[in-house]
Amino acid sequence: MPVAPTNTNNVTCPACGMLCDDITITSKSPVKISNGCIKSVAFFEQTIANTQPQIAGKPVDLSNAIKHAAAILQQSQHPFFAGLGTEVHGMRALLTLAEKTGATLDHMHSGASVRNTLALQNSGWQTTTLTEIKNRADLIVAIGTDIVSSHPRFLEKLVHNEQSLFNKPKPEVHYLGVDTPEHLPEILNVLNALASNNKVLVDQINGITIASLKTLLEKIHAAHYAVLVWSASKLDYPHAELSIQSITRLISKLNETTRVAGLPLNSGDGDTSVSNTCTWRTGSTANIRFMGKVTVNESIAEYKPYRYSANQSLQHCDSLLWISTLSEAPPPSSDLPMIVIGHPNMQFTRIPEVFIPVGIPGLDHTGIMFRLDSAVSLPLKRVRQSELPTLAYVLHQISEAL
């Protein structure tokens, strides 16, 4: 593995989907950073507890752990690769191994991201990106999310910025259904009805007056560039994809006369990076099973977001490879033979057959990640010395050992 020099300026933070790349490491020991937020400080300050691979909880060297992991996958008819908390290079290596082993894939936040994907696949959408928001947005409607809990610097960077290209006023941020997202389906339907000039026969809906929704619509119409922000992970109720479609339909209707755009927030742990990489490599986002070879060089992956979800796959697969390199997210409870490759500090309720701690992208090694708007991808830097192998290296070694 080439050792990249450690770097302290223009550091990209992978702790949330904003991927702020204006971080400067001002002190290495103890670690201090500038332009940080609560998430990035925790990310860059974290230390590593364990670097030793384990088989059944007992320390082993890396090559033995790799051999053992390969043996488990070799015996497995239907391996399930879950978690998928990684960046582009890790995902590329993972896809190569998945192709070889006929694996089923699911990202740990797919429950949320599939809601967006289903809305996209049903009707499409009209969206925007962070720099457009910074310079154009004169109204932000935050739907079911306060935005900053998941994306802490959003308001600082995109709403309270002093400078913008077109001398726009500082945008008002209007919050809708933040505390009670389950009320949103009806509220969004009423907004759509009002936007289409349909009669609404009630005075209020789920505690919100129709008059205030009318006022909101008037504000959107009056704005030059309103942005409707939602977070699929906060819309956690059955068929929430229909709420997202209500939002996108509203945006589409409003764009007949004015400019309005949507912004779906992401859920983290590399979900946007994994979904993009998986899509260009296989044609589908990461709810797929590799079904075998079409020709010597080409395999086919079947896309079924429900069938290849975590709940279903844990029942139908016969081994589990859990990957989480960006956070300590632990594997789901399961009796399957389990290989874990990921964050060195991960804690387990059941000791996995194999555990291989690997470097954290953007901290221990370089990488590439996609921002929440998918339009921008950024290089991750190596900012400290580390003995840990990369996920990509370990996966390539397992592939070779098969």
Partner 1 sequence: MIIQLKNGKLYDPAHGVDGVVRDLYIRDGRIVAQPNSNEKIDQVFDLSGKIVMAGAIDMHSHIGGGKVNIARMMLPEFQIKEYQETRQYTEPEAHICTPSCSHDAVPNTNQTGFRYIEMGYTAAFEPAILPINARQAHLEMGDTPMIDKGGYAMLGNDDYFLRLLSSKAEQKVINDYVAWTLHATQAIGIKVVNPGGISAFKFNQRRLDLDENHSFYQVSPREILKSLSTAVHQLGIAKPLHVHCNNLGAAGNFQTTLDTMGASEGVPMHLTHIQFHSYGAEGDKKFSSAAAQISEALNKHQHITADVGQILFGQTVTASGDSMMQQLNAQYANPKKSVIMDIECDAGCGVVPFKYRDQNYVNALQWAIGLEIFLSVEDPWRIFLTTDHPNGAPFTSYPHLIRLLMDKSFRNEAFAKLNLDAQAMSNLTSLDREYSLYEIAVMTRAGAAKLIGLNDRGHLGAGAAADITIYTDQPDREAMFAKPDYVFKDGELVVRDCKVVKVVWGKTHTAKPAFDIGVEQGLKAYFNQYHTIQLDNFKISNDEIADDGRGGIIIHST
Contacts with 140 (C-beta within 8 Å, 6 or more apart), sequence order = 133, 159, 171, 172, 173, 174, 226, 227, 229
C-alpha 223, offset from chain centre: 30
Pairing of strands 104-107, 79-85: parallel
CB of 58 to partner 1, least distance (A): 33
Interface residues with partner 1 (CB under 8 A) are 9-10, 12, 19, 21-22, 88, 92, 117, 120-132, 134-136, 157-158, 163-166, 224-225, 255, 258-259, 261, 275-277, 279-285, 294-298, 303, 368, 370, 374-379
CB nearer to partner 1: pick between 277 and 334? 277
Nearest Cα neighbor of 174 from 191, 197, 199 is: 191
Nearest approach in angstroms of CB 400 to partner 1 is 15
Minimal distance, residue 52 CB to partner 1, in Å: 27
Using a 10 angstrom Cβ sphere, with 0-12 exposed, 13-18 middle and 19 or more buried, the burial of residue 279 is middle
Q: Which residues contact 348 (CB under 8 A, 6 or more apart)?
A: 330, 331, 340, 355
Report the residue number, 166 or 203, with the smaller CB distance to partner 1.
166
Rank residues 211 and 375 by Cβ distance to partner 1 and give the closer one. Answer: 375
Beta bridge partners of 28: 31
Nearest residue (CB) to partner 1, 245 versus 325: 245
CA distance 144 to 136: 22
The smaller minimum CB distance to partner 1, of residues 202 and 296, is found at: 296
The nearest distance, CB 238 to partner 1, in angstroms, is: 22
Kindly state the DSSP code that residue 97 receives in the 8-state scheme.
H
User: CB of residue 126 vs partner 1: minimum separation in angstroms?
Assistant: 5
Minimum Å gap between C-beta 118 and partner 1 is 10
Scanning the structure block, which residue is given the tokens 């390539």? 396
Q: Is 126 or 309 the residue whose CB approaches partner 1 more closely?
A: 126
